[in-house]
């Protein structure tokens, strides 16, 4: 906190506000004595209460906050709103759709990529492109099925493994 205060003071980030304390000045009424009636009327008129500003004080926001006593048993409440995460399902048919998958990853969305309907060499090129994007973003890629991959950005974590069963085609 001291470093923060020094920086504030160095850059004059604390605002100083001026305020005026008002003092009520009231004059005592004049006592009436046995005087003629005309003089008594003049003496009965009392001057009104006069509000005059006293000294102008400068106080920083920090000093005013010190003057206010806050209860120490009240916990600090912080509102945390969570964004909803999106999972995008993608089944690219051509290599150019790999850019859309990379854009989703850059926007912090997880993508499930199904490469079952594309030729093997095109699928490998797409996975190479997406792998480079994931590496640059610090994300992760996992194979979750035959030609199906889960690509996650750095704000998501994948836990667990899916075992592969090899089926013999007969």
The DSSP secondary-structure symbol of 74 reads S
Domains and CATH numbers, the chain: 2-67 (no CATH), 87-152 (3.30.110.150)
Of residues 70 and 2, more confidence is placed in 2
Averaged over 141-166, what is the pLDDT? 85
Averaged over 114-131, what is the pLDDT? 94
Question: pLDDT grade, residue 170 (50/70/90)?
Answer: very low
Burial 56-88, CB ≥16 within 10 A → b, else e = eeeeeeeeeeeeeeeeeeeeeeeeeeeeeeeeb
Averaged over 41-46, what is the pLDDT? 57
In terms of pTM, does the model score above 0.75? no
pLDDT tens-digit map of 82-120: 667 789 999 999 999 999 999 999 999 999 999 999 999
pLDDT tens-digit map of 134-146: 999 999 999 998 9
Contact between 16 and 60 under an 8 Å Cβ cutoff? The reply is: yes
């Amino acid at each position: 906190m001291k470093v923060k205060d020094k920086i504030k003071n160095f850059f004059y980030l604390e605002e100083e506000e001026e305020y005026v304390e008002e003092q009520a000045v009231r004059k005592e009424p004049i006592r009436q004595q046995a005087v003629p009636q005309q003089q008594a009327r003049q003496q009965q008129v009392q001057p009104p209460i006069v509000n005059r500003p006293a000294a102008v004080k400068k106080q920083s926001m920090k000093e005013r906050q010190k003057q206010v006593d806050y209860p120490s048993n009240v916990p600090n409440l912080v509102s945390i709103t969570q964004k909803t995460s999106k999972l995008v399902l993608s089944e690219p048919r051509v290599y150019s759709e790999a850019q859309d998958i990379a854009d989703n990853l850059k926007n912090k969305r997880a993508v499930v990529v199904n490469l079952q309907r594309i030729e093997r060499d095109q699928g490998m090129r797409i996975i190479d492109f997406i792998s480079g994007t994931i590496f640059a973003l610090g994300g992760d890629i996992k194979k979750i099925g035959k030609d199906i991959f889960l690509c996650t950005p750095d704000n998501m974590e994948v836990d667990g493994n899916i075992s592969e069963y090899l089926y013999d085609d007969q």
